[in-house]
Amino acid sequence: MQRGALLDAARSLLSEGGTEALTFPALAERTGLARSSVYEYFRSRAAVVEELCAVDFPVWAAEVEHAMEQATTPEGKIEAYVRRQLDLVGDRRHRAVVAISASELDAGAREKIRAAHGGLIAMIVEALGDLGHAQPRLAAMLLQGSVDAAVRRIELAVAEEPSVIADTAVAMILRGVQGAQG
């Protein structure tokens, strides 16, 4: 029960202030626990981040996968993959995941993030292969890079509406993967 409250507090702190805001004193204050009690659950900030990755990445990936399953064509699956990730930008779990991904973490936490992203990328490889792409894994990594750039643009919240960014990203990605086939 306390562990869940600590993870919830960590999500909030990451969403509100990025990784700098994720401190044990702040976690203790948010949960009403003594700082020493926080250390009973997590040995370090990296341990909090690792657990958030273990809990939140699979939920996020499942939402993307579910959206892809609703599509009937490879192009539709690619569009669903892109749009669902961009839709999740406003979700608190997603904001925490983005903050985590941008932070300076120890090697173990970075490896868990890489593995989680690898699982996300693996979801789109098949659709790219079905389109006849000669190098679907490479294309998937580059496609995810475009999604990541669109996420950063949405998070800036300075110019375009998120729907415009999503529409532009989908159009660019679909034209790009279709043009790079076989």
> What is the rounded average pLDDT for all residues in the chain?
85
36-40, 132-136, 172-176, 178-182: the lowest-pLDDT one: 178-182
Nearest alpha-carbon partner for 168 in 150, 145, 144, 141: 150
With bands split at pLDDT 50, 70 and 90, how would you rate the model's confidence at 140?
very high
Q: Please report how many Cα atoms fall inside a 13 Å half-sphere around the Cα of residue 37, on the Cβ side.
A: 13
| Residue 174 structure tokens | 């679909």
For the chain, domains (ranges, CATH) are 1-42 (1.10.10.60), 45-179 (1.10.357.10)
pTM: 0.78
More confident call, 23 vs 103: 23
Measure the CA–CA gap between 151 and 85, rounded to whole angstroms: 8
Contact in structure between 99 and 19 (CB atoms under 8 Å):
yes
